[in-house]
């Protein structure tokens, strides 16, 4: 939450493949990790709950 805006994180969770195709930050991580994050098929609401959880960390 300190590195990324909430919208960016929501997009990474909900639109994982599109982010890995188009977002420079996500692509930089893909180059580092060499693993494509599998889309977790979270709903918008579930992703928002994960985001709220991340705020508590």
Q: What is the DSSP letter of 37?
A: P
CA 15 from centre of chain: 8
CB 36 within 8 A of CB 50: no
Q: Shortest Cβ distance from residue 2 to ligand HEM (Å)? A: 10
Over the window 16 to 55, marking each residue x when it contacts ligand HEM by CB under 6 A and - when it does not, the resulting string is ----x-----x--xx--x-xxxx-x-x-------x-----
Q: Which residues contact 18 (CB under 8 A, 6 or more apart)?
A: 11
Q: Does 12 bind ligand HEM (CB under 6 A)?
A: yes
Site for ligand HEM, rule CB under 6 A: 3-4, 9, 12-13, 20, 26, 29-30, 33, 35-38, 40, 42, 50
């Amino acid at each position: 939450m300190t590195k990324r805006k909430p919208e960016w994180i929501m997009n990474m969770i909900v639109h994982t493949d599109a982010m890995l195709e188009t977002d420079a930050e996500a692509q930089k991580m893909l180059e580092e990790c060499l693993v494509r994050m599998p889309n977790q098929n979270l709903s918008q609401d579930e992703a928002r709950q994960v985001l709220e959880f991340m705020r508590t960390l």
